[in-house]
Structure 1
Amino acid sequence: MNEQTLSMRLERVAAHVPAGARLADIGSDHGYLPVALMLRGRIEHAVAGEVALTPFHSAQRKVRKHGLEQQVSVRLADGLAAIEPADRINTVSICGMGGETMCEILQRGKHYLSGAERLIFQPNGGERELRTWLMENGYQIEQEELLRENRFDYEIIVAVPGAGSAYSAEQLFFGPRLLQARSEAFLAKWRRVLRQRQQTLAHFEHAQAVPQDKAREFSKQVEWITQVLG
């Protein structure tokens, strides 16, 4: 992967960034996404925020290499603190970290947001926790996508401001839009997860001192998945 050729999942994230957006990419991982979108003429301005020095310096080098210093601001900052009012950001992307970490970033830095931004996430696990935070903080899930890359399943979640969105426990678990669409990728993922959960429950039956709340949670998930797969 480089600034010319993104990974499949970053390409799908890029597809959800509106044309002409002013993008803040938080945890920018060497600046691949904002630099690629700027080189393609897709966005107007970008902030690449990074908390770690190595990817921060790498993103700076990429921006300089392509002469994009005026269009892409690379900032060493903790989460959403990379965003300044003068940036007039209208789209935020956060990719490649756990959903729980994304929730922490959003909770800690929500005062840096105007509340009107389009939020695009590609979590590595913790999708249910992320959806729950969005629901509880005045966002509705506008789009979701599921793809498989290098033997891993990845979900993309796009949220926009919209009070009054209430999702059921099952919708938070599967994703309301994914559950509605039931794509082949979605069904294939949950067939795999069902096998794993059933194997785990079988192990629980022969194990000692299994936490009862965990066993109940897995049993409930197996029931939900079985119903969805029909």
Structure 2
Amino acid sequence: MVRSNMKSRIAIPALAAAIVSVTGLVAGPAFAGNATSASSHTVEVAASRSATDVIKTLASEAIVGLTDQSLSNDTRRQNFVALMDRYFAMDVISRFVLGRYWRSISEEELNEFADLLQDYLALNYASQFKDFNGEQFVVGDEKQQNKDTFVNSQFVRPDGPPVSIVWRLREFGDEYKIIDVTVEGLSMGITQRDEFTAVIQKNGGEVSALTENLRVKVGK
């Protein structure tokens, strides 16, 4: 348990830094905030890209939309949610983090949960991007395993050993989307599922208790 908690403390800032530390292509949607700055970095993105290209482009868009020191907290969170909409398969992630309990709710309730999950993650993690200091992020190879593609990367810290980050992507139509991220062997999806299912189990197996919990946390 101590080892798992220590990994979690490393994983969150490392994951935040990893998303914003690639300095390759800058592409994608206009973000809230400084429209002139964002549009000056926008280029057309091809419909079909490799999984590795998706990770690089995600990181580049995050530089534009999350690290600007002039952004308000609300704008930074809005931009974080926009990135999740574009690059993460939130329907797949939502079902996974609910475990077997997702089968007990309606599609409408699942959609509401997915929206609240995005807001919850943005509330917890978006603010970390304003302290980005340009640590090095190295994207490695990608490997196919069954229907998913795993992109290996490392977050290189000046004050410690490199942190291994593996992005799990799945192809939906003509595009890849992220369904999980593993940091130093710790799956963010599994970590979140353990937290959420514990709340559900404490409330008689009712997903509505977790949904209400998230609603209160994000102020909705």
Pairwise same-fold verdict (TM > 0.5): no
Question: Which has more strand, going by share of residues?
Answer: 1
Q: TM-score, normalised by structure 2?
A: 0.29
